[in-house]
Amino acid sequence: ERGRIETLVSVMAPTYAAELARAGHGQITTDTLSSEPALQVIRRSIDQWIVLNSIAADIYTVRLLADGRRVFVVDTDTDTNGDGRIEEHETGAAPGDVFEEEDKGLDRALAGEANFNPEVVNDRWGSWVGSWAPIYDAQGRVDAAVGIDYDAGSWVRNVARARLERMLHLGLLLVTVAASMSAIAVLNASFRERRDADARHAEAEQRLRLNLEQMPLAFMEIEAGGTIIEWNPAAEKMFGYTREEAVGRMHFETIVAPGDRTEVGTILSALLRESGTQRHVNDNVTRDGRIIRCEWFNSQVTALDGRILSVVCLAQDVSERHNLEEQVRQSQRMTAVGQLAAGIAHDFNNLLTVIQGHADLLREHPRMPDDAREDIERIFMAGERAANLTRQLLTFSRKQASFARPVDLNASVTNTAHLLERTLGATVSVHTDLAVKLPNIVVDPSMLEQIITNLALNARDAMPGGGALALGTELVDVGVAQARSNPERRAGRFVRLTVSDTGCGIPQAILMRIFEPFFTTKAIGQGTGLGLSAVHGIMKQHGGWVEVRSVAGRGTTFEMFFPPTEQSANDSTRTRVSKAAAKAAGKATVLLVEDDTTVRHVARAVLERAGYHVIEAEDGPTAEDIWSRQKDSIEVLLTDMVMPNGVSGRELAERVLAERPDLPIVFVSGYCVETTAPSLNKSEQQAFLQKPYTPERLVATVEQVLGTPVHA
| The pLDDT of residue 240 | 92
Alpha helices (runs of H) in 290-318, residue ranges in sequence order: none
pLDDT of residue 334: 58
Q: Quick one: CA dihedral 480, 482, 486, 491, positive or negative? A: negative
Higher pLDDT, 189 or 602: 602
- CA torsion angle for 344, 345, 348, 350 (degrees, to 10)? -120
Q: What is the DSSP string of 21-85?
A: HHTTGGG--TT--TT-HHHHHHHHHHHHHHHH-TT-SEEEEEEE-TTS-EEEEEE----TT-SSS
Residue 675: the pLDDT is 41
Q: Is the confidence at residue 527, as pLDDT, over 80?
A: no
pTM over 0.85: no
**Residue 606 near residue 357 (C-beta atoms within 8 A):** yes
How is residue 471 annotated by DSSP?
E
The secondary structure of 219-283 as a DSSP string is: EEEEETTSBEEEE-HHHHHHH---HHHHTTT-BGGGGB-GGGHHHHHHHHHHHHHS---EEEEEE
Q: Are 221 and 229 in contact (CB under 8 A)?
A: yes
Are 706 and 586 contacting, i.e. CB atoms less than 8 angstroms apart?
no
CA distance 57 to 278: 26
Helices 319-363 & 597-609 angle (0-180, nearest 10): 50
Structure-model confidence comparison of residues 418 and 108, the more confident one:
108
Higher pLDDT, 215 or 494: 494
Sheet containing 142-151: order of strands: 70-75, 58-64, 142-151, 126-136, 115-123
What mean pLDDT comes out for the span 132-137?
A: 92
Compute the distance between CA of residue 298 and CA of residue 316 in angstroms, rounded to an integer.
Answer: 12
- Average pLDDT of the residues of the chain: 80
Tens of pLDDT, residue by residue over 436-453, are 989 999 987 777 887 888
- Residue among 193, 161, 194, 163 nearest 176 (CA): 193
Max intra-chain CA distance, the chain: 135
Cβ neighbours of residue 370 closer than 8 Å, sequence gap 6 or more = none
> Helix 597-609 crosses helix 695-706 at what angle (to 10 degrees)?
70
Q: What pLDDT, on a 0 to 100 scale, did the predictor assign at position 575?
A: 29
Of 496-500, 519-523, 697-701, which gets the smallest average pLDDT? 519-523
Please say whether the beta carbons of 540 and 495 come within 8 A.
no
User: Does position 331 have pLDDT exceeding 70, yes or no?
Assistant: no
User: C-alpha distances in angstroms, 364 versus 383, 699, 709?
Assistant: 17, 15, 21
Q: Per DSSP, what are the bridge partners of residue 126? A: 123
What's the pLDDT at 571? Answer: 42
pLDDT band at 683 (very low <50, low <70, confident <90, very high): low
pLDDT of residue 524: 43
Distance between CA atoms of 206 and 159, rounded to whole angstroms?
A: 20
Which residues contact residue 1 at a Cβ distance below 8 angstroms, ignoring those fewer than 6 apart?
158, 159, 161, 162, 163
The C-alpha angle with vertex 650 and arms to 647 and 654, in degrees rounded to 5, equals: 95
Give 551's pLDDT tier (boundaries 50, 70, 90).
Answer: confident
Quote the CA–CA distance of 250 and 233 in Å, as a whole number: 16
Q: What is the tens place of the pLDDT at every residue in 596-627?
A: 888 888 899 889 888 999 999 999 999 999 99
Distance CA 74, CA 63 (A): 10
Pairing of strands 636-640, 686-690: unpaired
pLDDT, tens only, 68-95: 999 999 988 887 777 778 787 788 888 8
Between 370-396 and 319-363, two packed helices, what is the crossing angle to 10 degrees? 160
What is the reported pLDDT for 711?
40
Instruction: Tell me the per-residue pLDDT of 342-381, one tens digit each, with 9 for 90 and over.
Output: 666 666 677 777 777 777 777 777 777 777 777 777 777 6
H/E stretch holding 483: helix 480-484
Residue 673 sits at the vertex; the CA angle it makes with 672 and 675, to the nearest 5 degrees, is 75
Rounded percentage of the chain residues whose pLDDT exceeds 90: 22
Q: Is the model's pLDDT at 654 over the cut of 60?
A: yes
Q: Convert the pLDDT of each residue in 203-253 to its tens digit.
A: 665 665 555 676 778 888 988 888 998 888 889 999 999 989 998 888 988
SS3 content of the chain, % helix, strand, coil (to 5): 45, 25, 30
